[in-house]
Amino acid sequence: MKTSTDHYQVVGNPIAHSLSPQIHQQFAAQTQQALHYDKQLVELGGFAAAMDAFIQQGGKGVNITVPFKQDAWQYADQRSKRAERAGALNTLKVNADGSTFGDNTDGLGLVRDLIQNQHIALKGQRILLLGAGGAVRGVLQPLLEQQPALLHIANRTAAKAEALALDFADLGKLHGSGFAELENLEPFDLIINGTAASLSGELPPLPEHSLITKGSAYDMMYSQTPTAFVQWALQHGAAKAVDGLGMLVEQAAEAFLLWRGVRPDSLAVMKTLRPES
Ligand code: ATR
Protein backbone atom coordinates (compact mmCIF):
# COMPACT_ATOMS: atom_id res chain seq x y z
CA MET A 1 0.00 0.00 0.00
CA LYS A 2 1.54 3.33 -1.03
CA THR A 3 0.68 6.37 1.10
CA SER A 4 0.96 9.99 0.04
CA THR A 5 2.82 10.95 3.23
CA ASP A 6 6.52 9.97 3.34
CA HIS A 7 6.90 6.86 5.47
CA TYR A 8 9.83 6.13 7.85
CA GLN A 9 10.29 3.54 10.57
CA VAL A 10 12.59 2.08 13.20
CA VAL A 11 13.25 -1.66 13.15
CA GLY A 12 14.67 -3.82 15.93
CA ASN A 13 14.06 -6.73 18.26
CA PRO A 14 12.83 -5.81 20.84
CA ILE A 15 11.26 -2.57 19.61
CA ALA A 16 8.25 -1.84 21.84
CA HIS A 17 10.30 0.47 24.11
CA SER A 18 11.56 2.67 21.23
CA LEU A 19 10.99 6.42 21.52
CA SER A 20 12.14 7.05 17.94
CA PRO A 21 8.59 7.53 16.52
CA GLN A 22 7.85 10.16 19.14
CA ILE A 23 11.16 11.95 18.49
CA HIS A 24 10.79 12.04 14.70
CA GLN A 25 7.17 13.19 14.88
CA GLN A 26 8.34 16.09 17.06
CA PHE A 27 11.16 16.91 14.62
CA ALA A 28 8.60 16.89 11.80
CA ALA A 29 6.28 19.26 13.67
CA GLN A 30 9.18 21.59 14.52
CA THR A 31 10.32 21.83 10.91
CA GLN A 32 6.81 21.76 9.41
CA GLN A 33 7.37 18.55 7.47
CA ALA A 34 4.67 16.01 6.76
CA LEU A 35 5.82 12.45 7.45
CA HIS A 36 4.68 9.23 9.07
CA TYR A 37 7.10 7.31 11.36
CA ASP A 38 6.32 3.99 13.06
CA LYS A 39 8.12 0.95 14.49
CA GLN A 40 8.45 -2.61 13.22
CA LEU A 41 9.44 -5.71 15.18
CA VAL A 42 11.56 -7.87 12.88
CA GLU A 43 12.36 -11.52 13.54
CA LEU A 44 16.04 -12.51 13.76
CA GLY A 45 17.23 -13.35 10.26
CA GLY A 46 14.35 -11.39 8.72
CA PHE A 47 15.97 -8.00 8.21
CA ALA A 48 16.52 -8.07 4.44
CA ALA A 49 13.00 -9.37 3.70
CA ALA A 50 11.49 -6.70 5.97
CA MET A 51 13.46 -3.97 4.17
CA ASP A 52 12.54 -5.25 0.71
CA ALA A 53 8.85 -5.14 1.66
CA PHE A 54 9.13 -1.68 3.23
CA ILE A 55 10.79 -0.24 0.12
CA GLN A 56 8.28 -2.01 -2.13
CA GLN A 57 5.53 -0.17 -0.23
CA GLY A 58 7.21 3.19 -0.89
CA GLY A 59 9.11 3.60 2.44
CA LYS A 60 11.62 6.47 2.44
CA GLY A 61 13.97 5.68 5.32
CA VAL A 62 14.70 3.42 8.28
CA ASN A 63 16.45 3.63 11.63
CA ILE A 64 18.04 0.40 12.77
CA THR A 65 18.53 -0.73 16.34
CA VAL A 66 19.58 -3.91 18.21
CA PRO A 67 20.45 -6.42 16.79
CA PHE A 68 20.29 -5.47 13.09
CA LYS A 69 23.01 -2.80 12.69
CA GLN A 70 25.44 -5.17 10.99
CA ASP A 71 22.66 -6.71 8.86
CA ALA A 72 21.78 -3.17 7.75
CA TRP A 73 25.39 -2.56 6.73
CA GLN A 74 25.25 -5.68 4.54
CA TYR A 75 21.94 -4.56 3.07
CA ALA A 76 22.87 -1.01 2.01
CA ASP A 77 23.76 -0.44 -1.66
CA GLN A 78 26.03 2.49 -0.79
CA ARG A 79 27.40 3.75 2.52
CA SER A 80 28.86 6.95 3.98
CA LYS A 81 32.56 6.90 4.85
CA ARG A 82 31.86 6.71 8.57
CA ALA A 83 29.38 3.85 8.11
CA GLU A 84 31.84 2.03 5.85
CA ARG A 85 34.47 2.10 8.59
CA ALA A 86 32.04 1.20 11.38
CA GLY A 87 30.82 -1.98 9.69
CA ALA A 88 27.41 -1.21 11.16
CA LEU A 89 24.72 1.36 10.46
CA ASN A 90 21.70 2.89 12.14
CA THR A 91 20.19 4.84 9.24
CA LEU A 92 19.06 3.86 5.75
CA LYS A 93 17.83 6.35 3.19
CA VAL A 94 15.82 5.03 0.25
CA ASN A 95 16.75 6.74 -3.02
CA ALA A 96 14.24 7.61 -5.74
CA ASP A 97 15.23 4.47 -7.70
CA GLY A 98 14.65 2.21 -4.65
CA SER A 99 18.36 1.71 -3.91
CA THR A 100 19.59 2.43 -0.37
CA PHE A 101 22.22 4.69 1.18
CA GLY A 102 23.47 3.71 4.65
CA ASP A 103 24.87 6.00 7.34
CA ASN A 104 25.89 5.65 10.97
CA THR A 105 24.96 8.65 13.12
CA ASP A 106 25.38 6.85 16.48
CA GLY A 107 28.96 7.97 17.11
CA LEU A 108 28.26 11.61 16.39
CA GLY A 109 25.15 11.39 18.59
CA LEU A 110 27.10 9.87 21.47
CA VAL A 111 30.02 12.32 21.30
CA ARG A 112 27.67 15.31 21.00
CA ASP A 113 25.62 14.23 24.00
CA LEU A 114 28.72 13.48 26.11
CA ILE A 115 30.56 16.72 25.38
CA GLN A 116 27.91 19.34 24.63
CA ASN A 117 24.94 18.20 26.71
CA GLN A 118 26.52 16.30 29.62
CA HIS A 119 29.84 18.22 29.76
CA ILE A 120 31.82 14.99 30.12
CA ALA A 121 35.40 15.38 28.84
CA LEU A 122 36.92 12.78 26.51
CA LYS A 123 40.32 14.21 25.54
CA GLY A 124 43.15 12.73 27.59
CA GLN A 125 40.75 10.50 29.57
CA ARG A 126 40.96 6.78 30.29
CA ILE A 127 37.77 5.38 28.77
CA LEU A 128 36.31 1.89 29.18
CA LEU A 129 33.79 0.79 26.56
CA LEU A 130 31.65 -2.28 27.32
CA GLY A 131 30.43 -4.54 24.51
CA ALA A 132 31.68 -5.45 21.04
CA GLY A 133 28.55 -5.58 18.89
CA GLY A 134 27.18 -3.29 16.21
CA ALA A 135 26.43 -0.48 18.66
CA VAL A 136 30.06 -0.32 19.78
CA ARG A 137 31.47 -0.59 16.25
CA GLY A 138 29.51 2.54 15.34
CA VAL A 139 31.02 4.74 18.05
CA LEU A 140 34.69 3.70 17.99
CA GLN A 141 35.96 6.10 15.34
CA PRO A 142 34.19 9.22 16.68
CA LEU A 143 35.37 8.42 20.24
CA LEU A 144 38.98 7.93 19.13
CA GLU A 145 38.84 11.22 17.20
CA GLN A 146 38.42 12.94 20.59
CA GLN A 147 41.90 11.68 21.55
CA PRO A 148 41.33 9.84 24.81
CA ALA A 149 44.51 8.75 26.67
CA LEU A 150 43.28 5.17 26.26
CA LEU A 151 40.20 3.36 25.02
CA HIS A 152 39.72 -0.15 26.41
CA ILE A 153 36.97 -2.42 25.04
CA ALA A 154 35.71 -5.17 27.39
CA ASN A 155 33.26 -7.80 26.23
CA ARG A 156 31.65 -10.98 27.60
CA THR A 157 33.13 -12.81 24.59
CA ALA A 158 36.73 -11.61 24.93
CA ALA A 159 37.76 -12.63 21.41
CA LYS A 160 35.25 -10.17 19.89
CA ALA A 161 36.71 -7.26 21.90
CA GLU A 162 40.24 -8.25 20.93
CA ALA A 163 39.32 -8.48 17.24
CA LEU A 164 37.59 -5.09 17.36
CA ALA A 165 40.61 -3.46 19.01
CA LEU A 166 42.85 -4.84 16.26
CA ASP A 167 40.43 -3.67 13.58
CA PHE A 168 40.53 -0.04 14.76
CA ALA A 169 44.12 0.04 16.11
CA ASP A 170 45.21 2.49 13.39
CA LEU A 171 42.92 5.19 14.86
CA GLY A 172 44.30 5.49 18.42
CA LYS A 173 45.40 3.77 21.62
CA LEU A 174 42.98 0.86 21.79
CA HIS A 175 42.91 -2.46 23.72
CA GLY A 176 40.39 -5.28 23.98
CA SER A 177 39.75 -7.97 26.61
CA GLY A 178 37.18 -9.91 28.59
CA PHE A 179 35.71 -8.54 31.84
CA ALA A 180 37.97 -10.59 34.14
CA GLU A 181 41.12 -8.85 32.82
CA LEU A 182 39.75 -5.49 34.07
CA GLU A 183 40.75 -6.61 37.62
CA ASN A 184 44.38 -5.92 36.67
CA LEU A 185 43.84 -2.46 35.17
CA GLU A 186 43.83 1.02 36.74
CA PRO A 187 40.32 2.44 37.20
CA PHE A 188 38.82 4.46 34.34
CA ASP A 189 37.66 8.11 34.20
CA LEU A 190 34.62 7.21 32.10
CA ILE A 191 32.79 3.93 31.49
CA ILE A 192 30.41 3.69 28.51
CA ASN A 193 28.03 0.74 28.40
CA GLY A 194 27.47 -0.33 24.80
CA THR A 195 26.21 -3.85 25.63
CA ALA A 196 22.60 -4.89 25.23
CA ALA A 197 22.53 -5.96 28.92
CA SER A 198 20.34 -3.03 30.07
CA LEU A 199 17.56 -4.16 27.72
CA SER A 200 17.05 -7.19 29.95
CA GLY A 201 17.76 -5.36 33.22
CA GLU A 202 21.18 -7.01 33.51
CA LEU A 203 24.54 -5.59 34.50
CA PRO A 204 27.79 -6.41 32.70
CA PRO A 205 30.15 -8.21 35.15
CA LEU A 206 32.31 -5.22 36.10
CA PRO A 207 34.96 -5.52 38.83
CA GLU A 208 34.28 -3.31 41.90
CA HIS A 209 37.09 -0.81 41.32
CA SER A 210 36.63 -0.13 37.58
CA LEU A 211 35.58 3.54 37.91
CA ILE A 212 37.62 6.30 39.59
CA THR A 213 35.92 8.17 42.45
CA LYS A 214 33.83 11.00 40.95
CA GLY A 215 34.20 9.43 37.50
CA SER A 216 31.49 9.40 34.83
CA ALA A 217 29.29 6.64 33.46
CA TYR A 218 27.17 6.60 30.31
CA ASP A 219 24.70 3.90 29.29
CA MET A 220 24.02 3.89 25.54
CA MET A 221 20.64 2.29 26.31
CA TYR A 222 17.86 4.38 27.83
CA SER A 223 15.00 3.65 30.17
CA GLN A 224 12.27 5.45 32.13
CA THR A 225 13.89 4.28 35.37
CA PRO A 226 17.69 4.22 35.97
CA THR A 227 19.30 1.24 34.20
CA ALA A 228 21.19 -1.41 36.23
CA PHE A 229 24.45 0.09 34.91
CA VAL A 230 23.52 3.66 35.93
CA GLN A 231 22.58 2.38 39.39
CA TRP A 232 25.87 0.47 39.66
CA ALA A 233 27.85 3.60 38.74
CA LEU A 234 26.04 5.78 41.29
CA GLN A 235 26.68 3.15 43.96
CA HIS A 236 30.38 3.13 42.99
CA GLY A 237 31.11 6.83 43.45
CA ALA A 238 30.27 8.26 40.01
CA ALA A 239 29.80 12.04 39.94
CA LYS A 240 27.67 11.65 36.85
CA ALA A 241 25.77 8.62 35.51
CA VAL A 242 23.34 9.09 32.64
CA ASP A 243 21.53 6.92 30.14
CA GLY A 244 21.50 7.24 26.36
CA LEU A 245 18.34 9.29 25.83
CA GLY A 246 20.47 12.26 24.71
CA MET A 247 22.41 10.05 22.28
CA LEU A 248 19.13 8.72 20.91
CA VAL A 249 17.82 12.22 20.21
CA GLU A 250 21.13 13.44 18.75
CA GLN A 251 21.54 10.45 16.41
CA ALA A 252 17.91 10.89 15.36
CA ALA A 253 18.52 14.56 14.54
CA GLU A 254 21.39 13.55 12.23
CA ALA A 255 19.22 10.90 10.55
CA PHE A 256 16.45 13.48 10.08
CA LEU A 257 18.99 15.84 8.48
CA LEU A 258 20.05 13.11 6.04
CA TRP A 259 16.44 12.31 5.11
CA ARG A 260 14.86 15.75 5.09
CA GLY A 261 17.75 18.18 4.53
CA VAL A 262 17.08 20.17 7.70
CA ARG A 263 18.57 19.76 11.20
CA PRO A 264 15.93 19.89 13.94
CA ASP A 265 16.38 21.33 17.46
CA SER A 266 17.42 18.27 19.47
CA LEU A 267 17.58 19.98 22.88
CA ALA A 268 13.97 21.12 22.64
CA VAL A 269 12.86 17.53 22.05
CA MET A 270 15.03 16.21 24.88
CA LYS A 271 13.32 18.60 27.27
CA THR A 272 9.87 17.25 26.37
CA LEU A 273 11.01 13.62 26.86
CA ARG A 274 12.74 14.27 30.18
CA PRO A 275 11.70 17.66 31.51
CA GLU A 276 14.41 17.77 34.23
CA SER A 277 17.25 17.47 31.67
P1 ATR B 1 24.18 -4.24 19.18
O2 ATR B 1 23.89 -3.96 17.75
O3 ATR B 1 23.32 -3.50 20.13
O4 ATR B 1 25.62 -4.04 19.55
P5 ATR B 1 24.73 -7.04 19.21
O6 ATR B 1 25.58 -6.93 18.00
O7 ATR B 1 23.79 -8.20 19.37
O8 ATR B 1 23.80 -5.78 19.39
O9 ATR B 1 25.71 -6.99 20.47
C10 ATR B 1 25.27 -7.06 21.80
C11 ATR B 1 26.44 -6.81 22.75
O12 ATR B 1 25.95 -6.83 24.10
C13 ATR B 1 27.53 -7.86 22.68
O14 ATR B 1 28.77 -7.24 22.96
C15 ATR B 1 27.13 -8.83 23.81
O16 ATR B 1 28.20 -9.60 24.31
P17 ATR B 1 28.68 -10.95 23.54
O18 ATR B 1 29.46 -10.48 22.34
O19 ATR B 1 29.52 -11.68 24.52
O20 ATR B 1 27.42 -11.68 23.17
C21 ATR B 1 26.66 -7.83 24.84
N22 ATR B 1 25.72 -8.37 25.85
C23 ATR B 1 24.43 -8.73 25.67
N24 ATR B 1 23.87 -9.11 26.85
C25 ATR B 1 24.84 -8.99 27.80
C26 ATR B 1 24.90 -9.23 29.22
N27 ATR B 1 23.83 -9.66 29.89
N28 ATR B 1 26.07 -8.97 29.86
C29 ATR B 1 27.15 -8.54 29.18
N30 ATR B 1 27.16 -8.30 27.84
C31 ATR B 1 26.03 -8.52 27.16
pLDDT, tens digit (0-9, with 9 covering 90-100), for 68-81: 999 999 999 999 99
Q: For residues 92 and 54, give the distance between their C-alpha atoms in angstroms, rounded to a whole number.
A: 12
Ligand 1 pocket test: which of 68, 195, 206 has the largest number of ligand atoms within 8 Å of its C-beta?
A: 195
Q: What is the pLDDT of residue 151?
A: 98
User: How high is the pLDDT of residue 109?
Assistant: 98
Contact status, residue 250 vs residue 112, Cβ threshold 8 Å:
yes
Q: Write the Ramachandran bin of 140: left for phi over 0, alpha for psi from -120 to 50, otherwise beta.
A: alpha
In the CATH hierarchy, which top-level class contains the domain 6-104+252-273? alpha beta
Has residue 277 got a pLDDT over 50? yes
In the chain, which segments carry CATH 3.40.50.10860? 6-104+252-273
Q: Which amino acid is at 65?
A: T
Mean pLDDT of 91-98: 98
pLDDT at 255 over 50: yes
1: pLDDT confidence band, cut at 50, 70 and 90?
very low
Instruction: Give me ligand 1 centre to Cα 160, in Å.
Output: 10
pLDDT for 100-159, tens place per residue? 999 999 999 999 999 999 999 999 999 999 999 989 999 999 999 999 999 999 999 999
| Atom of ligand 1 at shortest range from CA of 69 | 2
Closest residue by Cα to atom 9, ligand 1, is 133
Please, which residues bridge with residue 37 across strands? 8
- Say yes or no to pLDDT of 181 above 80: yes
| Rounded Cα–Cα distance for residues 148 and 155 (Å) | 19
Residue nearest atom 6 of ligand 1, based on CA coordinates: 133
pTM across the whole model: 0.94
Nearest CA to ligand 1 atom 5: 133
Residue identifier of the C-alpha nearest atom 12 of ligand 1: 195
pLDDT at position 134: 87
pLDDT of residue 216 exceeding 60, the answer is yes
Which alpha helices (H) appear in 105-244, and where do they start and end?
106-112, 134-145, 158-167, 228-235
Ligand 1 binding pocket mutation candidate from 17, 69, 140, 156 (most atoms within 8 A of CB): 156
The mean of the pLDDT values for the chain is 96
pLDDT tens track for 238-247: 999 999 999 9
The backbone torsions φ and ψ at residue 211, rounded to the nearest 5 degrees and listed phi first, read -110, 135
Say whether domain 107-243 belongs to CATH 3.40.50.720: yes
Cis bond upstream, residue 67 (ω within 30):
yes
Q: Please give the share of the chain, as a percent, with pLDDT higher than 90.
A: 94
pLDDT > 70 in the chain, percent: 99
Catalytically annotated residues: 69
In order of 17, 63, 91, the CA distances from 101 in angstroms are: 26, 12, 8
Q: For the chain, where do the domains classified as CATH 3.40.50.720 start and end?
A: 107-243
**pLDDT at position 4:** 75
